[in-house]
């Protein structure tokens, strides 16, 4: 079938995953907004209501991703569709941290903001923003974890990140020009909607897959940052956008000047 089937598979996958994302975000934010207060008891009630749903949607995201990439690889390689694993495509603790602990963080955000003198409306808004970021990031982690398993099982060696059909940030745009190895999780960042796409064949296609897009991105960075050279390749993308190892996310796209606490910075009490 070739390109026509792959395009149809991608369109269907994008529709399904977009619907999953929209539904779970609507549900989670509505549950947070409807709380009578944001005290300990409200946090407990919120977790009891929301966690089964978000964990279920993460599993669905993993299963849909697994099915999509399995079918894509079968068409690319001309092989029989591999059977999906009997176990869940996504582990419950995507971050290596209990989900209840992660989804309590929006409440901690609210309490922290209040302790710093913010009014209640602003504090709740900060908690809501944190909840949105957590939920979106977990959906993307479910995608990348399932994708690695499906591509390894299907025999792929390399992949690229395919940009979403909407607006894409500079981090994702530059990263989309590069090839990645299947043995490594796709680097993400909060709010990232990119998807892994296997590259046909086992021969390394080289680091840069889209030279023109990379040049255009460099030109935009040079225009915004006021830095360029005669070759049009400075500042080098590796001096601007790098991959850091996040203690929970795994590989994380970041700007070199950004810093965050990693697992080596956390010491037991």
Q: What is the pLDDT of residues 136-188, one digit of tens each?
A: 989 988 998 899 889 988 888 898 888 876 666 777 777 788 888 888 777 66
| pLDDT for res 186 | 72
Question: What is the pLDDT of the chain when averaged over all its residues?
Answer: 79
Is a pLDDT exceeding 80 seen at residue 244?
A: no
Rounded to whole angstroms, what are the CA distances from 138 to 3, 82, 89, 130, 192? Answer: 30, 26, 14, 12, 11
Higher pLDDT, residue 248 or 151: 151
| pLDDT for res 128 | 98
State the pLDDT confidence band at 242, using cuts at 50, 70 and 90.
low
Higher pLDDT, residue 158 or 227: 158
Tell me how crowded residue 235 is: count the other CB atoms within 10 A of its CB: 16
Under 8 Å between Cβ of 151 and 196: yes
| pLDDT for res 183 | 81
- Residue with the two structure tokens 């909407």: 166
- Residue with the two structure tokens 């907004």: 33
Q: What is the mean pLDDT of residues 109-138?
A: 96
| pLDDT for res 117 | 97
Under 8 Å between Cβ of 232 and 215: yes
Higher pLDDT, residue 228 or 56: 56
| pLDDT for res 61 | 94
State the pLDDT confidence band at 225, using cuts at 50, 70 and 90.
low
Higher pLDDT, residue 77 or 126: 126
């Amino acid at each position: 079938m070739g390109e026509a089937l792959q395009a149809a598979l991608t369109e269907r996958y994008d529709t399904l995953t977009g619907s999953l994302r929209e539904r779970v975000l609507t549900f989670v934010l509505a549950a947070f907004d409807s709380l009578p207060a944001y005290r300990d008891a409200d946090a407990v009630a919120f977790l009891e209501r929301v966690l089964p749903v978000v964990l279920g949607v993460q599993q669905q995201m993993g299963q849909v991703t697994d099915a999509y990439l399995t079918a894509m690889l079968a068409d690319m390689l001309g092989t029989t569709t591999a059977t999906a694993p009997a176990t869940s495509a996504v582990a419950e603790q995507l971050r290596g941290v209990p989900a209840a602990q992660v989804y309590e963080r929006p409440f901690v955000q609210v309490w922290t903001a209040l302790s710093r003198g913010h009014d209640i409306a602003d504090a709740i808004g900060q908690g809501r923003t944190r909840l949105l970021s957590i939920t979106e990031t977990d959906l993307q982690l479910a995608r990348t974890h399932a994708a690695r398993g499906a591509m390894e099982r299907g025999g792929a060696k390399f992949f690229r990140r395919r940009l979403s059909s909407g607006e894409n940030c500079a981090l994702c745009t530059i990263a989309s020009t590069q090839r990645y190895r299947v043995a490594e999780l796709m680097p993400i960042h909060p709010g990232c909607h990119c998807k892994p796409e296997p590259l046909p064949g086992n021969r390394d296609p080289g680091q840069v897959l889209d030279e023109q897009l990379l040049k255009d991105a460099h030109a935009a960075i040079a225009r915004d940052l006021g830095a360029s050279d005669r070759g049009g390749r400075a500042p080098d993308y590796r001096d601007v956008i790098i991959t850091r190892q996040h203690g929970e996310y795994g590989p994380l796209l970041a700007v070199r000047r950004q810093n965050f606490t990693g697992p080596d910075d956390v010491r037991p009490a």
